[in-house]
Each structure stands twice: as structure tokens, then as C-alpha cells.
Amino acid sequence: MPWRMLGYYQGIIEDYFGNALHEGERRVVQTVLYIGESSPNMVSRISQDSLRFRFTLRDIKEFEAAADELLRSDNPQDWIIGVLCKRSVDINEWRRVALRIRNISRQKDWFWREASAMFLIAAILRRLPPTELKEFEKVLQVNIEESALFKDVYDQGFDLGYGKGHDSGFTSACRRVIDAKLKAENITDEVVKKKLDTLDEEALGDLAERAVQSADFLSDILGIKLPSPGPR
């Protein structure tokens, strides 16, 4: 994360400050909001050779007192932050936010159009039960092929708060993306399904990434070499 934040910092300076370190009173202030059950222990600085860089790391639950205000906002991003910053999950509140997002205009700015994808990513990050995730997917009807946000997330390596050590959540997220792609392309071949069941986490991650890019997804699946049956 520190190196990624440094990359973001560089991009912001280049795009908005013309490569200058600052412009007048404007500064780049970077904050990472941690979403997780335990206390955040992520490294938030780089100290290497002559490089010194740091950003602020905050637990999103620190903002729980602002949840109700956020939920009263007119901005769908605020609604999502509003349910994310609560220490306990009120699934009915998540349902109400999902319904509000479903009913907003799809003709507004990109953060309105991508609100459904943002909500599902937030639900995955908050580790909501699979039954509720499937419910929200059905309510919001996100088309992963048309969502620039989902494509960006998977292009950057499925940084959804899972990964190694959280196999069930990460694998589940990958399978949902793959299953949505199969449904969109009307691929129902049992051979395909059986092959998917043999894939390990890494292979599923690679395949899910291709699901939002590939024009010939069936060939992608059938061309995967099966994992070795021996110990890894």
C-alpha cells in the first residue's frame, strides 16, 4: 500500500499540479480508510535510501458518529460510506441503501452510474454473508462488463480486502465475476463448470480478471492448464 499511495501521489502531482510540488495553498493530503474487523496495522510510510514518504491511516469506524448524516446525504457515495463506517452490520440498513441506489438516475455523473458497483465492492469488503451478497447482486443488476469500476478493481489485482489467507472470500468474489460472465455469454457447458471447480485461487483470480476483458472467454477457460494433483 505505501508504494501504491506514492504512485497515486505522483499521478496527482502530474495531473493537477503540473509536476510542481505545490500550488499556492493547495496540498495533496492522502488518507487510507481501513475497512476490517481488527485494528489497522498496515505500514503507512516509506523510509528507504533518501526517500521519506507517509500517508494517514484511519479506521473507517472512527467516523461512525457521522453515519446518520452521511445516510441523509444526496450523494450515493456517502450512503455507502455511511453503512461501512458502522461497527456492526445492520443488514436492513444495507438493504435500504441498495434500494436507494437501484432507484437513482443512471444518467448522472459517473459516480452515480457506478454506485451499484461501489456498493457491491463495499459489501465484499465488509464481508457480508454470501446470501446477502447474492441478494444485492440481484437487486442492483450490475453488469461487470460495462462497469469501468469493476474493471479497474480487477485490473489492479483484486484488491478487495481478501487475497491469500482469506481464501473463501476471495475465491467467492472471483467465482461471482466468472459466473456473471458465463451467464452473459450463455455458456452452460458442464465441462466448463467441472473445470472451474478444479481451479485454485490463483487461477480463479487470473480468470476473473480476463472475464472483464476477454472477447473469447470460453477459449480462456478451456485453455487453462489444470493444477497439479500433487502437493504444492
Q: What is the pTM of this model?
A: 0.57
Q: Which residues contact 15 (CB under 8 A, 6 or more apart)?
A: none
Q: Could you report the per-residue pLDDT of 33-81, keeping only the tens digit for each?
A: 888 777 888 889 999 889 999 999 999 999 999 999 999 998 888 999 9
CB 60 within 8 Å of CB 84: yes
Q: Which residues pair with 46 in a beta bridge?
A: 53
Percent of the chain, pLDDT > 90? 22
Q: What is the spatial distance between Cα 181 and Cα 153, in angstroms, rounded to a whole number?
A: 16
Residue 140 lies in a domain: yes
Examine the domain organization and report whether 85 and 55 are in the same domain: no
The lowest-confidence range among 70-74, 85-89, 127-131, 157-161 is: 157-161
Q: In Å, how far are 10, 42, 51, 54, 135 from 23, measured between CA atoms? A: 15, 30, 22, 20, 47
Collapsing DSSP to helix, strand or coil, 117 comes out as helix
Examine the domain organization and report whether 27 and 129 are in the same domain: no
Strand locations in 103-165, DSSP E?
none
Instruction: Give the model's pLDDT for residue 166.
Output: 40
Residue 228 lies in a domain: no
Examine the domain organization and report whether 31 and 53 are in the same domain: yes
Instruction: Give the model's pLDDT for residue 18.
Output: 76
Range of the domain at 204: 62-222
Examine the domain organization and report whether 105 and 150 are in the same domain: yes
CA dihedral (214, 4, 122, 76) in degrees, to 10, reads -100
Of 37, 60, 83, which closes a domain? 60
Examine the domain organization and report whether 72 and 39 are in the same domain: no
Does the pLDDT of residue 159 top 50, yes or no? no
Residue 91 lies in a domain: yes
- Mean pLDDT confidence for 134-146: 73
Instruction: Give the model's pLDDT for residue 53.
Output: 94
Q: Could you report the per-residue pLDDT of 13-35, keeping only the tens digit for each?
A: 888 877 666 666 778 899 998 88
Of 21, 40, 60, which closes a domain? 60
Supply the DSSP string of 153-184, one letter for each residue: HHHTT--SS-STT-HHHHHHHHHHHHHHHHHH
Examine the domain organization and report whether 136 and 86 are in the same domain: yes
Residue 230 lies in a domain: no
Residue 231 lies in a domain: no
Examine the domain organization and report whether 130 and 36 are in the same domain: no
Does the pLDDT of residue 168 top 60, yes or no? no
Instruction: Give the model's pLDDT for residue 31.
Output: 93
| 130-140 vs 167-184: helix crossing angle, rounded to 10 | 30
Q: In Å, how far are 40, 85, 127 from 65, measured between CA atoms? A: 19, 9, 22
Residue 232 lies in a domain: no
Examine the domain organization and report whether 82 and 132 are in the same domain: yes
Q: What is the spatial distance between Cα 170 and Cα 133, in angstroms, rounded to a whole number?
A: 13
* H or E, element range at 106: none
- Of 230, 232, 225, 188, nearest to 207 by C-alpha is 225
The number of distinct structural domains making up the chain is: 2
Q: What is the spatial distance between Cα 126 and Cα 213, in angstroms, rounded to a whole number?
A: 26
